Copies of this chain bind each other. A is one copy, B any other.
Amino acid sequence: MNSARIDLRAIIKQEGLRYTTQREAVWRELQSSDNHRDAESIYFTLRGRSINISRATVYRTIEILVKYNLVRKLDLGDGRSRFECKLGSGHHDHLICTKCGRIDEFVNDDVEELQKSIAAENNYVLSNHIHQLFGLCENCQNEEDK
């Protein structure tokens, strides 16, 4: 897998865009963190590191990263989008703990196949899907007992 080294600068320049401190910082932040970040947290983390950046630039940069397939945008239904770096992990869906907000990933080939069948039965040509399972994670189940 070529995920270890992705040169954002090369991609950016190839597209005739400019490689800026802010773009590099957002990309680094998404790459280094354990996924599922929202714009606000990226904004605050970078500000905390004395990187001069605005919310607007965070959003504009994420838009570019999503466009070039480096980042995936998640909608968990709570009003704010989450973003995860696509490098190092293939397609997967999510398990979300409704109590603590923990997010786990899952992959299930059978479900993937069934989705294709469902689409075919309904005469749809699929482009993508959202599959999210909500419930209590192991830790939060134990909390309930106390």
Contact = CB atoms under 8 A, between A and B. Distances in A.
- Contact residues on A (Cβ < 8 Å of other chain), bracket: 20 to 34
A30 B95 CA distance: 31
Interface string A101-123: 00010101011001100110111
Contacts of A75: 75, 77
A136 B127 CA distance: 8
A138 interface: yes
A146 to B, nearest CB: 16
Nearest to A129: B133
Interface of A: 75, 77, 95, 97-98, 104, 106, 108, 110-111, 114-115, 118-119, 121-138, 141
